[in-house]
Structure 1
Amino acid sequence: MRRALTLSLLAAPLLAAALAAGGQAQQLGSDIPKTFKPVDGAFDFERRSVDIPMRDGVKLHAVIVQRKGLTDAPIVLQRTPYGAESATQRESSSHGAMTVRASDAMLLDAGYIRVYEDVRGKYGSEGDYVNERPLIGPLNGTKVDHSTDAYDTIDWLVKNLKNSNGRVGIIGTSYDGMMAAMALVKPHPALKASVPMNPVINTWMNDDDFHGGAFRLIGFDYYYGQDAAKGNAGDLWRDAYDDYDVFLRAGSASDFVRSHGLQQLPWINRMLAHPAYDAFWQAQALEDILPKQPQTVPTLWVASQWDQEDIYGAIAAYRAVSKVDPNHVNHLVLGPWAHGGANGDGSTLGAIRFDSDTGLWFRREVLLPFLDAHLKGDGAGDTLAPVTAFQTGSNRWQTLPTWPLACDATCTAPMTKLYFAGNGALDWNASTANGRDSYVSDPAKPIPYRLRPIRPTYATGSTWRQWLVDDQRPFSDRTDVLVWQTPALTRPVAISGAAVVDLLASTTGSDGDFVAKLIDVYPAEYTDKPEMGGYQLPVAMDILRGRYREGFATAKPIAPNQALRYRIVLPHANHVFLPGHRIMVQVQSSWFPLYDRNPQTFVPSIMNARPGDYRKATITVDYGGAHGSAIELPVVAAK
């Protein structure tokens, strides 16, 4: 106390003297310089931001990253709505490989120039943002789209990056994968390779927004974060911890939209206005558009067997373009991953392990050799098989001549059937005894799609990434889920393609959903990993909205109490059911809140259903005889 007082007394005359000498108090300037230039002599990379002009005068913001001293180098472009600047600032380091994710670090180390560009209207780019902007045509009357923007960007890069070799590849995952696919429409001559990974190809036909006609409620999180701000709008707010409660209390999809003000977002309004697969969606279907283009750009389509977001796109696009590809420039990879899993550690997914880092193997043994062959050479070194697929169950990579290896739902030859039978049995032979199993589906108590509490998609603690491999035992015991299974297998059963659950079923309602799950049941005691004993591993699962049983373009009511056929085509899988395991099929009528509840009363649009429309219904599945309910499996030889 005494010392502080003494210092104060001493400071007063000094301050007075300073004021007397200078005549006024010292003026303070800003501590922030107009520019700050890092001392980057120790950096092993160069990074710069540029604005690239498009044909309509709009400038798109891009970030260029490369090793110092690089010459005669190929370019790998990524076009993104998620922020080019942040993609190259993952760590603050003098080492370029630390500033980008692992897959990009591999490309930097291999001598590639990496370019990240904000799509028009997002982050640093000028222009208007249109979510999933359609290509020029009936839905886009302007003179620009993602194809022209890719063309103009590539043109600028090869003319202005003097240390490049003039060869460009484009790569991306999810939305960025869609950008890599759209660049194939009237491609720039310098585009020599494309890698669409888990791309959005048809957002109605089993990619992000609809599956089998059922609407994905959880997409509202994405569209709010993406469309409510030029950057990232953040997380959509909640009024409960468990999303099951949030969406059940809200009511219909439209009710949720109004309760959160989401009607301000044009894309959400467009989705609500087009619940069926009408001309709006059909005009944007890239699996129909791309085969009309000459197949000149070597393309590596990358799919994930357990992709929780875009499980449809890569395989659908590959199958479509490979039919008009005489020079075989298209390749397919199917890995044991979740969405984007090829970019990270692919050793495990949830409780499932694969005996190796499958993501690293793919990047080293497939991705880099493919890019090197076409971007550092003339393509002569491309020895990649048409299809490279990881076989789950046996945990090994396979090279295949085509996909699917077996016949599937689009073939004229029959697949191998497992017939539903009494006492919950699945049998290789059709039973001569007819039977029926029933359950009551209550929209007031829908079946959760993963264990509760269900956290929002991107929330801390969310299991969104792994839910497609979650143990299904918590659901198989419910009274509103039907279960059939084989005895323990005495020989391996391998499938390669898309299985189909062929239901002969009736409902007391005039509408309804059918969810089908193909499951690998582990032995009750499992030596390799005891905690996996009895695990019910989903191999493939999906949903069909009953109103679309005759076609997705037009909704039709279901005739109550009439046995009708419902064919649920499951996602593609490359899997072997091992001896000692069982093959199981589960059937149910809700999957909430991944998909909106079907009121089970026919209404013009389920998205606008009112509280009184939601009613219980009894669903009955018929079996027995050659035309009874069954699952059709794309069986191949187990090697």
Structure 2
Amino acid sequence: MKSLLVVLTLAAVLPLPVMLQAAGAEPIVRPGGDIPGDYNPLPADADYERREMMIPMRDGVKLYTVILVPKGAKDAPIVLNRTPYNATARVLRTTSPVMVDAVPFEDREFAKAGYIRVWQDIRGKYKSEGDYVVTRPMVGPLNDTGVDNGTDAYDTIDWLVNKANLPESNGRVGIIGSSYEGTTVVQALIKPHPAVKVAAPESPLVDAWTGDDWFHNGAFRQVMADYIAQQTGDRSIAKAASRGGYDDYDNFRAAGSAGDWGKARGYDRLPFWRRLQEHPAYDAVWQGLALDKLLAANPSDVPTLWVQPLWDQDDIYGAIRSWEVLKAKGKMGNNHLLLGPWSHSQVNRNDVGRNLGPLQWSSNTITQYWRDMILPFFNEHLRDGPPANIPAVTAYNTGEDRWERLTNWPLACETGCSAPLTPIYLGANGGLGFQAGAAGGDAYVADPAKPVPHYPRPVNFDDGSWQSWLTGDQRSFDGRPDVMTYQTEVLTEAVRVSGTPIADIFARTTGTDGDFVVKVIDVYPATNSSEPKMGGYQLAIALEIFRGRYRESFEHPSAIPAGKVQQYKFRLPTVNHVFKPGHRIMVQVQSSLFPYYDRNPQTYVPNIFHAKSSDYRPATVTIERGGKTPSRVWLPVVPLDQSAAMAR
């Protein structure tokens, strides 16, 4: 009791530090605090080891890298993924001691097979050093820093295959990734490291003006505004500004131009947003960023599987275009094409392998992709495994619900194919046929105040519908007076299309600018006893937009001469489909696809991002039929029996 009284007395008269010292206590506040920096939640009996490294690049910048190594691994191959989406998050979804359960779904086959799995934050994102540049140009006229995503991949791989750094590896690397991560794969293929033995770019952004991500044929995908804010507002992920009410159709329409939308939300403070606005045409910037041109100039010998979803709502152009340019360079021997029945990056979600929107497949196409295609392909080239027997082209037949193994692609095209394209003509009274009809025209009023929605209202970009909107029922728009609909009689025989359709529209407008949207649609029979909701369904198998000011030149836009017939010819997304007997073929033509794409004011202005409210005016558009200006779609029609083209 006497000692307690002494302490209490000291507490009343001495400062706190002196009191602690007198009581025999030690300070607990130390440099570094309570976060040690080397905490690892994995249990000791885990079947893999997690390593975190800062790998140096040639300019001294270090990139954060997560490496999972199976315990006991020896001469194991490496699979690398370079991402702007947080390498740490890929392997912190669970603390499972079993590697196959610790990795994301898309990596489970690699984990089962004993691969070393590597994820890396790209330059300037999350834990990596350096500056982040959206779609960083390759070293050249647009990039004088000496470093790009290709050199960073090269330096990373050089570090990984060094036995002193990763003694468990066999020195062989495969690279894979979807969307932006697919783009980093393509960039690594421009001048690849010798250790890269196999690659699989899935839905890569290759030409961001023509058909990937930011623009499609000059029409701006304003749905990307939130993504730009999230990706560039912070090194990790930033908050996007509120869009307002639930219906984004109303939100974007009330805002005015895409430029007004961004300015009202502070996006004009973001360098990349400003750069988009400054380069609305296909100028030297977009041409310099186009990776297909760089691939053509630097065709690699790395065995590569180009993966293109047939209903990719974001990047529906890049993989197929890359395949085309490499084929033209004589590189079919090491380049393979895969056309899957998926939306953008759907290959990373096993729970939707049997369906896309309303479409149901007879098997889990995504399980088949990873188990039967990707893993054997990587094993062949990274482990001297048995031949994967991957054909030149693996394409899903979306009309007959089956995979097809083909020796070539496309089966029909404008030149150089075994079959030419076949025109199907827009006809009078909404008819559609393979013979041109009499001259005539169909007029409609395109009103920017009442744009045609891309998806039935209300449109909300957060409700998940964007993932499958391309498969939505087009009956929602069929009855609108500003949507021109043409369809065949009920088919008595099947019609197969395998290739890239070409829209070829002749039209005149009372405006001086305008957009054209063309859809090729499979119209289902009116009744379906097994799936009643699919009775009469209108499924778009190919859909694309074209900004009229670029009809003569993508680089140098020009006003449309009011009242004069002009030709608008542009490619649609690739198809591999059979229109069955009892179905119809339909073509729809319209002038907007909103709010997915920004509105065209239909009055020519130098830059649509800066269009004023007074520039948005209704215009009467007349689609020409027959005669010397027959509007049509060139379809890749081929015989139904393609057994001769099948790979064995």
Shift in Å, 1:413: 7.3
Whether contact under 8 Å (2:77, 2:115) holds in the other structure is yes
Give 1:7's aligned residue. none
1:255-334 equivalences in 2 (<5 Å): 255-326=260-331, 328-334=333-339
Residue in structure 2 matching 1:349, options 344, 356, 360: 356
Q: Which residue number in structure 2 is paired with residue 376 of structure 1?
A: 383
Uncovered stretches (5+) of structure 1, i.e. residues with no partner: 1-12
SS of 1:571 mapped into structure 2: coil
Which residue type is aligned with residue 421 of structure 1?
G
1:182 aligns with 2:187: yes
CA positional deviation for 1:327: 6.6
Residue matched to 2:646: none
Q: Spell out, residue by residue over 1:563-608, the C-alpha distance to the aligned partner (whole angstroms, 9 max, x if none).
A: 2211232111111111111110111101111111111111111111
Amino acid at match of 1:90: R
Contact 2:283 2:555 in 1 (8 A): yes
The residue aligned with 2:391 is 385
Which of residues 546, 549, 553 is equivalent to 2:548? 546
CA distance in 1, matches of 2:9, 2:504: 96
Query: Shift of residue 105 of structure 1?
Result: 1.4
- The match for 2:373 is 366
The yes-or-no answer on 1:85 pairing with 2:88 is: yes
Residue 69 of structure 2 corresponds to: 66
> What is the CA-CA distance between 1:75 and the residue it aligns to?
0.3
Q: Deviations over 1:226-270 (max 9, x none)?
A: 000000113332222211111111111111121111111111111
Amino acid at match of 1:74: P
Q: Which residue of 2 aligns with 1:406?
A: 412
- One-letter amino acid of the structure 2 residue matched with residue 562 of structure 1: K
Q: Which of 94, 106, 109 pairs up with 1:106?
A: 109
**2:157 corresponds to which residue?**
154
Match of 1:230 among 232, 235, 242: 235
1:201 corresponds in structure 2 to: 206
Letter in 1 for 2:58: R
Instruction: Look up the match of 1:462.
Output: 464
| Match in the other structure for 1:141 | 144
User: Aligned in 2, Cα 1:253/1:347: closer, same or farther, shift over 3 Å?
Assistant: same
Question: How far apart are the structure 1 equivalents of 2:507 and 2:543?
Answer: 18
SS at match of 2:136: coil
Spell out the pairing of 1:217-256 with structure 2 (5 A cutoff): 217-256=222-261
**Aligned positions of 1:475-554 closer than 5 A:** 475-554=477-556
How many Å separate the matches in 1 of 2:638 and 2:629?
23
| Greater shift in the superposed pair: 439-448 or 287-296 | 287-296
Moved more, 329-338 or 249-258: 249-258
1:593 aligns with 2:595: yes
Identity rate of aligned residues, in percent? 49
Query: Which digits, 9 at most, give the CA deviation of each residue in 1:194-231, with x for residues without a partner?
Result: 11100010111110011111111111111100000000
Taking structure 2 as the reference length, the TM-score comes to 0.92
Q: Secondary structure of the equivalent of 1:60?
A: strand
Per the TM alignment, residue 509 of structure 1 is displaced from its structure 2 partner at its CA by 0.6
Q: Which amino acid aligns with 1:374?
A: H
Return closer, same or farther for 1:100/1:416 CA change in 2, 3 Å cut-off: same
Distance in 1 (alpha carbons) for counterparts of 2:459 and 2:332? 47
Paired with 2:173 and 2:598, the residues of 1 have a C-alpha distance of 42
- Is the Cα–Cα contact under 8 Å of residues 409 and 500 in structure 1 kept in the other structure? no
The 1:521/1:17 distance shift into structure 2, 3 A limit, reads: farther
8 Å contact from structure 2 (residues 65, 121) kept in 1: yes
Instruction: Find out whether 1:127 has 2:134 as its counterpart.
Output: no
CA contact (8 A) 2:412 2:420 kept: no
Q: Secondary structure at the match of 2:380?
A: helix
Q: What does residue 581 of structure 1 align with?
A: 583
- d(CA) in 1 for partners of 2:94, 2:399: 37
- 1:312-369 CA-to-partner distances (Å, cap 9, x unmatched) read 0000001111222357111110000000112223210111111111111111111111
Q: Which structure 2 segments of 5+ residues have no match?
A: 12-18, 642-648
Equivalent pair of 1:408/1:497 in contact (CA under 8 Å): no
**Contact conserved, 1:225 with 1:236, CA < 8 A, in 2?**
no
The 1:21/1:331 distance shift into structure 2, 3 A limit, reads farther
Distance in 2, matches of 1:171 and 1:362, equals 13
Aligned position for 1:5: none
Taking the aligned partners of 2:247 and 2:395, their CA distance within structure 1 comes to: 37
- Structure 1: distance between partners of 2:269 and 2:534: 47
How much does 1:15 deviate?
13
CA offset at residue 38 of structure 1? Answer: 4.1
The Cα shift of 1:43 comes to 1.4
CA distance in 1, matches of 2:315, 2:255: 26
Cross-structure match for 2:445:
440
> Structure 1 residues 408 and 222 mapped into 2: Cα distance closer, same or farther (>3 Å)?
farther
Q: Aligned partner of 1:217: which letter?
A: Q
Distance of aligned partners of 1:122 and 1:191 in 2 relative to their CA distance in 1, 3 Å threshold: same
Considering only aligned residues, what root-mean-square deviation do their CA atoms show, in Å?
Answer: 2.1
8 Å Cα contact 1:348-1:354 kept in structure 2: yes
Query: Which piece of structure 1 moves more, 158-167 or 628-637?
Result: 628-637
Amino acid of the residue matched to residue 426 of structure 1?
L
The answer to whether 1:42 aligns with 2:24 is: no
Superposition deviation, residue 430 in structure 1:
1.7
Bigger mean CA deviation after superposition, 306-315 or 60-69: 60-69
> 2:644 — aligned with what?
none
* Alpha-carbon distance, 1:554 to partner: 0.9
Partner AA of 1:565 in structure 2? Q
Query: Would the alpha carbon gap of residues 16 and 523 (structure 1) be closer, same or farther in structure 2, given more than 3 Å must change?
Result: farther
Query: Map of 1:596-635 to 2, 5 A cutoff?
Result: 596-625=598-627, 627-635=629-637
From the superposition, tell whether residues 633 and 327 of structure 1 become closer, same or farther in structure 2 (CA, over 3 Å): closer
Which one of 563, 567, 572 corresponds to residue 565 of structure 1?
A: 567
C-alpha displacement of 1:625? 3.8
**CA 1:403–1:563 in structure 2 vs 1: closer, same or farther (change >3 Å)?**
same
Question: Aligned partners of 1:416, 1:591: CA distance in 2, in Å?
Answer: 27
